[in-house]
Amino acid sequence: MTQDVITRKNGRVGHISLNRPKALHALTLDMCHAMSDALTVWADDDSIEAVIIDHHEGRGFCAGGDIAFLRDSALNDGGVSGRKFFHDEYQLNHQLFTYAKPVVAFMDGITMGGGVGISQPAKFRVATENTRFAMPETGIGLFPDVGGGWYLSRIGGRLGQFLALTGARLDGAETLWTGLATHYVPSNLLEDIKARIIERPGRIAGILSEPVGTPPPARIEANALKIAKHFASDRYEDILASLEAAIADGDQWAVKERDTLGTKSPQTCKVALRQLATSLDLPTFADNMAMEYRIGSRVLVRPDFAEGVRAVIIDKTGDPKWDPATPQEVSEELLDSIFAPLPADEEWKPL
């Protein structure tokens, strides 16, 4: 059992707290297993009516997955242990998505990558003034996985495509406005609200909906029309061309977003656009996770991932050498190979 996750019963509530503060509670394989094991037990425990997921101490909520571990796998074991991590993490994501009892996720702090994967499936997703929500994977040659294809493609207004490509960070008010959060609560009220949920788990919706003041304005709303216009296409080249046309007209917002995209992996930007477009046509979340596992299995061992992590996280030089280097060089054939089915005995399956 890992000490990086604290699982316990508080009255009629199962309580999961991430407890890896030095890594901003980034998920390890052991943490995924500990969470999944607890959820499995509570699913059959009639005394448990609801589940709370939060972080125990320090800044949180969860900064993602264990990127250093994944890079080591890509470089040293051909991605074998990395694929195992993806496989079991995605099982946890799906377990939460299909969980029969209400789950309340408190996204109080950084909520990125793997943190999105364990909070978005929850029926109740609580943001605060500390929330920093992002799927920044294209900056390290990865892609917005852990169900990102499902959630981002369904926001509307092409906001999901914008978030997937740029890795833009949303604050708590913005996550509420986009629907990525269901409620907004000032962080100084969280302990009281958790205590009340533990006392009356049948009244979660009412407890969270009681007046707690008005959240600040959602800044992204001011740019929503520009996002819908310039990120309208599923062709990456079209998005870049649309931004360039706006830049020619003197749009400084377009300059900022064009320059942001210039730092991202062309391969994984194209992967993300196809991922979101494909996900919209999939009937179930399990189908989405099977698709994302196929992508993850291939992207993990492609050159951009190890190189992106080196440049952004390890050396912090910010100068990744992407391969392919330009969007035009990322062929449809390459994308087809990344999305192709795996051998039957290697495909992802739910728990």
Report pLDDT digits (tens) over 301-349: 999 999 999 999 999 999 999 999 999 999 999 999 999 999 999 999 9
CA–CA distance, 6 with 175 (Å, rounded to integer): 26
Tell me which residue range forms the domain holding 240: 219-346
Q: Is residue 281 annotated as part of the catalytic site, yes or no?
A: no
Q: Of 14, 65, 167, 172, which is the active-site residue?
A: 65
3-state secondary structure of 348: coil
Let me know whether 183 and 242 are in one domain: no
Q: Is residue 65 annotated as part of the catalytic site, yes or no?
A: yes
| Ramachandran angles phi, psi of 51, nearest 5° | -130, 135
Q: Annotate 134-194 with three-state secondary structure.
A: ECCHHHHCCCCCCCHHHHHHCCCCCHHHHHHHHCCCEEHHHHHHHCCCCEECCHHHHHHHH
In the listed set 209, 242, 270, which residue is the last one of a domain according to the structure? 209
Name the band, by pLDDT with cuts 50, 70 and 90, for residue 213: confident
How high is the pLDDT of residue 49? Answer: 98
Give me the percent of the chain exceeding a pLDDT of 90: 96
Q: Of 49, 137, 292, 304, which is the active-site residue?
A: 137
Q: Please report whether residue 351 resides in a domain.
A: no
Let me know whether 201 and 229 are in one domain: no
Q: Share the mean pLDDT of the chain.
A: 97
Q: Please report whether residue 39 resides in a domain.
A: yes
Token reading at 81: 């242990």
Let me know whether 111 and 177 are in one domain: yes
Let me know whether 280 and 319 are in one domain: yes
Let me know whether 204 and 262 are in one domain: no
Q: Of 60, 79, 82, 114, which is the active-site residue?
A: 114
Q: Please report whether residue 201 resides in a domain.
A: yes
In the listed set 156, 183, 209, which residue is the last one of a domain according to the structure? 209
Q: Please report whether residue 282 resides in a domain.
A: yes
The reported pTM is 0.97
From 57-61, 230-234, 248-252, the region with the lowest mean pLDDT: 57-61
CA–CA distance, 4 with 278 (Å, rounded to integer): 35
150-185, pLDDT tens digit by residue?
999 999 999 999 999 999 999 999 999 999 999 999
Task: Output the CA torsion sign for 297, 136, 18, 95.
Answer: negative
Amino acid letter, 194: K
Residue 212 Cα distances to 54, 225, 344, angstroms: 20, 30, 51
Q: Of 49, 66, 145, 171, which is the active-site residue?
A: 145
Residue 211 predicted with pLDDT over 80 = no
Q: Please report whether residue 145 resides in a domain.
A: no
Let me know whether 96 and 43 are in one domain: yes
* CATH label of the domain that carries residue 247: 3.90.226.10
| Ramachandran angles phi, psi of 8, nearest 5° | -160, 165
Name the band, by pLDDT with cuts 50, 70 and 90, for residue 212: confident
Q: Is residue 145 annotated as part of the catalytic site, yes or no?
A: yes
Let me know whether 124 and 272 are in one domain: no
Let me know whether 184 and 225 are in one domain: no
Residue 2 predicted with pLDDT over 80 = no
CA–CA distance, 168 with 102 (Å, rounded to integer): 29
Let me know whether 104 and 130 are in one domain: yes
Give me the percent of the chain exceeding a pLDDT of 70: 100
In the listed set 146, 177, 209, which residue is the last one of a domain according to the structure? 209
Q: Is residue 114 annotated as part of the catalytic site, yes or no?
A: yes
How high is the pLDDT of residue 210? Answer: 87
Q: Please report whether residue 69 resides in a domain.
A: yes
57-112, pLDDT tens digit by residue?
888 899 999 999 999 999 999 999 999 999 999 999 999 999 999 999 999 999 99
Give the DSSP H/E element, type plus range, for residue 237. helix 236-248
CA–CA distance, 146 with 77 (Å, rounded to integer): 22
Total tally of structural domains belonging to the chain = 2
Residues 27 and 146 sit within 8 Å (Cβ to Cβ): no
Distance of CA 66 to the CA centre of its chain: 13
Let me know whether 197 and 230 are in one domain: no
Residues 198 and 13 sit within 8 Å (Cβ to Cβ): yes
Let me know whether 203 and 258 are in one domain: no
Beta pairing class for 50-55 and 61-62: unpaired
Residue 1 predicted with pLDDT over 70 = no
Q: Please report whether residue 46 resides in a domain.
A: yes
Q: Please report whether residue 264 resides in a domain.
A: yes
Let me know whether 41 and 182 are in one domain: yes
CA–CA distance, 244 with 259 (Å, rounded to integer): 10
Residue 249 predicted with pLDDT over 90 = yes
Residues 141 and 309 sit within 8 Å (Cβ to Cβ): yes
Residue 222 predicted with pLDDT over 80 = yes
CA–CA distance, 175 with 115 (Å, rounded to integer): 14
Closest CA to 280 of 125, 191, 161: 161
How high is the pLDDT of residue 255? Answer: 98
